[in-house]
Amino acid sequence: MSLDLLTYIFIGGSFALYIAIAIWARAGSTKEFYIAGGGVPPVANGMATAADWMSAASFISLAGIVSFIGRDGAAYLMGWTGGYVLLAMLLAPYLRKFGKFTVPDFVGDRYYSSTARTIAVICTIVISFTYVAGQMRGVGIVFSRYLHVDITTGVVVGMIIVFFYAVLGGMKGITYTQVAQYCVLILAFMVPAIFLSMQVTGHILPQTGLGATLDSGKTVLTTLNELSVELGFDQYTQGNKTTIDMFFMTAALMCGTAGLPHVIVRFFTVPRVKDARISAGWALIFIAILYTTVPAVAGFGRVNLIETINGADSNGVEYTQMPSWFKNWEESGLIAWVDKNGDGKVYYSAGNAFEGGKPVFVEGVGDSGERLTSNATANASEVYVDRDIMVLANPEIANLPDWVIALVAAGAVAAALSTAAGLLLVISTSISHDLMKRTINPSISDKQELRYARMAAIVAILIAGYFGINPPGFVAQVVALAFGLAASSVFPVIIMGIFSTRMNTQGAVSGMVVGLASTIAYIVYFKFMGGTADQWWFGISPEGFGTVGMILNFVVAMLVSSVTPPPPAEIQAIIEDIRIPRGAAEAHVH
């Protein structure tokens, strides 16, 4: 059976399953559309949360970025996993007890202000659209390779699939679809990881792979360091980021995770506060399975990439043309090479193969098999590799069976679509529930609110598709920006809303505006207006500036609240109550 046919079967079969679940779990009320009726079992919710949280950035891009930048990629690993612990332990139970299932709803009621609610809606929409752009981009990358279409067409196909189970099923359909998607994505990630570990190290557990000894007598990490230096790169274990940038980026990812609206709402789909804690624990276990495997997959992928591109066959003859896997991926436009010195050999080294780092294809194929480009530059690498393809290309680079390659494609789509659906639901909920129902027109019926929610989801899908086709960076980078926005806007207002009885409307609104505006301004300047790395403020990258925005948010909020009237007594009483476990007062009396 051909790879194409296997891919169609795996991806088509998973799509059929997702759509069938959406039809079976079709939401009939706003409660089912927003929080799945509040009756999801903790284990199932843990799986759905893991799938919702582990996006295309986790499945497709994370191992790719760690593969290319080595030690600096630890910021992503520490920030995203640490942030989930922060969310599960510090925020989720209190928010669940407060009883408001959206961030704007919590902000509006806690700070007794429609203005605060509206600003929270804006923050939520900005975060979600930035995040969902990375997911749609991931879908486009998968389809461009395996369905032999361009990325734009791939994104459109993904939009159609998301439309069916997000718009029809709402949270109820999404939750049970995400349970299936978690099973697909974790199998798709772990099966090739185990194959690669056995192939490279002889160990069945990929988590121990980087420290494993190869036939040469050296560990995988030592081998990576030596190969990288030979080709003109820095050592794999040597980071280029400054300590302050590593710290700020990790903190932004961590606090951004804890402020993600589409993950927070997950803790309202279970019946009780206790179940929210249990499902958080299950989700952490399910997430850890993938995240503890990422470093090994990244390392194996980098070794295989170097050896198959810049190496020799078993007889010691240097490669004079690209291997078949490379030619397969060239059609997607995500990998390319140009024979700059005309010697017919492939050189993979430090530097960009093309101006701006990306190839521009023109008609024709060179005599040595390379793709011709109109903007090749001298004295740099002859190879361009988009880091987002590393996980997807790994099985082909390692000559794994076709069914493994097809499984990875299905898993990548599952990861991207599961998170995209959750984010789109958050956007539609913010518009229909927080704006329409709670702010603009409180008299609308349940049926009208549900109609607005579905209409908002459709518009959100169209906008998300546009950003997927025109993303501001590679998948993990786009997602990192979303986490920075969440850290600078949503996280502080939730933390202060739970743990400070003195925080008032004026403080919360001022903090959100300053935090979000400063972070957006920094990102826009350095990502879209030509700002360079040597201009970074104290060496802090755009991905790490969310921490600065968060600090500004806290400082401004506390200063403003200290010179303005305190919240009403009933609000202060509610805040005191949500931090006290049920029954604690009675136990103390007796």
pLDDT digits (tens, 9 = 90+) for 493-551: 989 998 998 999 999 999 999 998 999 899 888 877 878 888 888 889 888 899 999 99
Residue 316 has pLDDT above 50, yes or no: no
Distance CA(426)–CA(433), nearest Å, equals 10
| Gap between the Cα atoms of 174 and 170, Å rounded | 6
Pairing between strand 335-337 and 371-373? unpaired
Q: Considering only residues 435 and 397, tell me which one the structure prediction assigns the higher pLDDT.
A: 397
Q: How confident is residue 248, by pLDDT bands cut at 50, 70 and 90?
A: very high
Read off the tokens for 218: 């050296």
Least confident of 100-114, 237-251, 573-587: 573-587
User: Confidence class of residue 312 from pLDDT cuts 50, 70 and 90?
Assistant: very low
Confidence band, pLDDT 50/70/90 cuts, at residue 585: very low
Q: State the chain's mean pLDDT as an integer.
A: 79
CB-CB contact of 480 with 76 (8 Å): yes
Tell me the residue type at 437.
K
Determine the 3-state secondary structure of 318 from DSSP.
strand
- Cβ neighbours of residue 588 closer than 8 Å, sequence gap 6 or more: none
β-bridge mates for residue 385, sequence order: 335
Note whether 80 and 479 are within 8 A (CB).
no
β pairing state of 371-373 and 361-365: antiparallel
Alpha-carbon distances, residue 478 vs 61, 294, 471, 474 (angstroms): 10, 19, 7, 6
Contacts of 3 (CB under 8 A, 6+ apart): 402, 405, 406
CATH architecture observed for domain 3-302+398-578: Up-down Bundle (1.20)
Flag whether pLDDT at 552 surpasses 90.
yes
> Which among 498, 551, 459, 560 has a CA at the least distance from the CA of 91?
498
| Phi, then psi, of 317 in degrees rounded to 5 | -85, 125
Q: Which pLDDT score is estimated for 39? A: 66
